[in-house]
Amino acid sequence: MAEKNMNRWECPCGYIYDPAEGDAENNILVGTSFDDLPDDWTCPKCGAEKEFFEELRD
């Protein structure tokens, strides 16, 4: 089984999606990788689509 990418992703507005935190406001469970977010998920801060996020490498 392939390992999930659990890196954090940053929106141009500065919001950071962290799989360790999920997105409770949008019913995204803790442990949900960025790749597993629904296609229509958007930044809860500014509404940007996933395509505008940049991966943060730890």
Tokens representing 27?
Answer: 């019913």
What pLDDT band is residue 3 in, cutting at 50, 70 and 90?
low
| pLDDT greater than 80 at residue 28 | yes
Using the predicted structure, report yes or no on whether residue 45 has a pLDDT greater than 70: yes
Output the pLDDT for position 57.
85
Residue stretches of the annotated binding site for Fe cation: 11, 13, 43, 46
Once rounded to an integer, what is the mean pLDDT over residues 21-46?
A: 97
Count of residues making up the chain: 58
Q: Set out the domains of the chain in order of their start, with CATH numbers.
A: 7-58 (2.20.28.10)
Exposure class string for 9-42: b at 16+ Cβ within 10 A, else e: bbbeeeeebebeebbeeeebeeebebeebeeebe
Binding residues: 11, 13, 43, 46
CA distance 57 to 47: 23
Is 70 exceeded by the pLDDT of residue 1?
A: no
